[in-house]
């Protein structure tokens, strides 16, 4: 299995349960594992009955396992503070307010949250040297997919901005005929430097996601979830990301044959329709079903987590990076 493993899917299908169980499985096999929750609802804390924050913390009672919860909100304000600091050292007091307004505005746009989350993603992946496996419990499908298709888009964007900036600087240099001081110079232009750094960062993120990450989609045996999964797979495929399989969660348990009460009849009926949907999943999707997890009576944690972990048939051993 690759170093970075992502679990995605529709809201409420049990991504947190599955990713925690898989992380447990990896840790149990002796791999240094980090489980990262990017869902703003943050239910990792509930699974392990322990509060986590923005930096990795060991999980009590489980060896080799660390957990962290990303907080984009905090990242946004950190970013904002950073810019404001360099504003006050660079910009004349007369212009600070003007520019400050622009900076504030940029941090309230709808994309800011995603951008911040993306930054944290890349940070975690870059600083994960001490771990053998990093498991990402992602936020519901739409957001995450947009997030993961970002690098290419952003890289292209930074590239185009860079080209424009270089072009105008070149013209300014050319306009300086007869030994005049050009208005802007290529040499040491902080804007070009900044844009280049961004571009490289996006390129790195794209590379890590394509080469070292594996994706799993958690799906429930119901119509909506299946349809959303289909869409998710096609957009992940489009972004040339590696979707390794489907984890079917929340299957209904089958009653014993001799039971014939109302509850048993209901369950039998339910199991029948679910079996049909499972077949659809098997036949219509070209990704293998790697786990079938039956609904538990209680919340999945503690011993139940161990049980669920055993049901996930996903390779644990690290793969050599080609």
Partner 1 sequence: MTLAERIAAFRDIAEEWLRGLYHGLINHPAYEKIENEAEDIEDAFMLACFPDAFGIPSPVSYYTAELLPYLEDEFEAWERRMWDRGSLLERKGSQYHF
Q: Cα 200 to the chain's mean position, in Å? A: 20
Question: Which region, judged by CB under 8 A, interacts with partner 1, from 16-24, 62-70, 109-117, 241-249?
Answer: 109-117
* DSSP of 182-202: PSS-STT-HHHHHHHHHHHHH
* 194 touches partner 1 (CB under 8 A): yes
Name the DSSP class of 322: -
Which among 288, 291, 292, 295 has a CA at the least distance from the CA of 313?
Answer: 291
Which of 77, 168, 234, 279 forms a contact with partner 1 (CB under 8 A)?
A: 168
Element containing residue 69 per DSSP (H, E): strand 65-69
Residue numbers 116-135 binding partner 1 by CB under 8 A: 116
* DSSP of 264-284: HHHHHHHHHHHHHHHHHHHHH
* 308 touches partner 1 (CB under 8 A): no
Residue placing its CB nearer to partner 1 in the complex, 86 or 260: 86
Which of 174, 179, 261, 298 forms a contact with partner 1 (CB under 8 A)?
A: 174
Q: List phi, psi (to 5°) of 67.
A: -140, 150
Considering the complex, what minimum distance in angstroms separates the CB of residue 7 from partner 1? Answer: 25
Which of 27, 147, 154, 312 forms a contact with partner 1 (CB under 8 A)?
A: 154
Q: How many residues bind partner 1 (CB under 8 A)?
A: 48
Tokens of 84: 């404001």
* 295 touches partner 1 (CB under 8 A): no
Which among 167, 100, 139, 114 has a CA at the least distance from the CA of 6?
Answer: 139
* 177 touches partner 1 (CB under 8 A): yes
* 161 touches partner 1 (CB under 8 A): yes
Considering the complex, what minimum distance in angstroms separates the CB of residue 69 from partner 1? Answer: 21
Which of 1, 45, 57, 103 forms a contact with partner 1 (CB under 8 A)?
A: 103
Q: Cα 219 to the chain's mean position, in Å? A: 17
CB 296 within 8 A of CB 289: no
Residue numbers 58-97 binding partner 1 by CB under 8 A: 76, 79, 83, 86-87, 89-92, 95
Question: Which region, judged by CB under 8 A, interacts with partner 1, from 6-14, 55-63, 132-140, 176-184?
Answer: 176-184
Which of 164, 227, 231, 317 forms a contact with partner 1 (CB under 8 A)?
A: 164
Count, residues in the chain: 322
Q: Which long-range contacts (CB under 8 A, 24 or more apart) does 191-199 make?
A: 191/165, 192/162, 192/165, 192/166, 195/158, 195/161, 195/162, 195/165, 196/162, 198/154, 198/158, 199/155, 199/158, 199/159, 199/162
Which of 102, 129, 179, 322 forms a contact with partner 1 (CB under 8 A)?
A: 102
Tokens of 262: 């109302």
Question: Which region, judged by CB under 8 A, interacts with partner 1, from 10-18, 58-66, 188-196, 204-212?
Answer: 188-196
Q: Which residues bind partner 1 (CB under 8 A)?
A: 76, 79, 83, 86-87, 89-92, 95, 98-99, 102-103, 105-107, 109-112, 114-116, 154, 157-158, 160-161, 164-165, 167-169, 171-172, 174-178, 180, 183, 190-191, 194-195, 198
């Amino acid at each position: 299995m690759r170093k970075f493993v992502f679990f995605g899917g529709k809201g409420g299908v049990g991504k947190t349960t599955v990713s925690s169980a898989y992380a447990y499985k990896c840790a149990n096999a002796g791999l240094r594992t980090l489980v990262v929750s990017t869902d703003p609802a943050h239910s990792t804390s509930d699974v392990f009955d322990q509060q986590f924050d923005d930096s990795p913390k060991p999980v009590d009672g489980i060896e080799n396992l660390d957990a962290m919860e990303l907080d984009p909100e905090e990242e946004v304000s950190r970013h904002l503070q950073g810019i404001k600091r360099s504003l006050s050292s660079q910009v004349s007091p007369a212009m600070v307010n003007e520019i400050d307004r622009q900076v504030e505005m940029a941090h309230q746009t709808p994309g800011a949250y995603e951008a911040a989350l993306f930054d944290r993603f890349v940070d975690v992946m870059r600083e994960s040297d001490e771990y053998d496996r990093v498991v990402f419990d992602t936020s519901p499908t739409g957001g995450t997919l947009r997030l993961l298709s970002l690098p290419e888009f952003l890289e292209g964007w930074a590239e185009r901005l860079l080209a424009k900036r270089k072009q105008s600087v070149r013209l300014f240099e050319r306009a300086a005929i007869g030994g005049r001081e050009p208005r802007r110079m290529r040499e040491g232009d902080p804007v070009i430097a900044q844009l280049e750094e961004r571009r490289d960062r996006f390129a790195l993120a794209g590379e890590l996601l394509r080469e070292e990450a594996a994706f799993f989609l958690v799906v429930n045996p119901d119509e909506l979830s299946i349809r959303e999964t289909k869409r998710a797979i096609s957009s992940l495929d489009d972004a040339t990301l590696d979707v390794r399989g489907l984890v079917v969660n929340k299957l209904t348990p089958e009653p014993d044959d001799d039971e014939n009460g109302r509850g048993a009849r209901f369950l039998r009926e339910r199991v029948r329709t679910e079996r049909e949907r499972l077949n659809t999943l098997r036949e219509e999707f070209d990704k293998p079903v790697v786990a079938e997890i039956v609904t538990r009576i209680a919340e999945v944690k503690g011993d139940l987590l161990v049980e669920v972990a055993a049901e996930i048939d996903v390779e644990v051993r690290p793969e050599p990076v080609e």
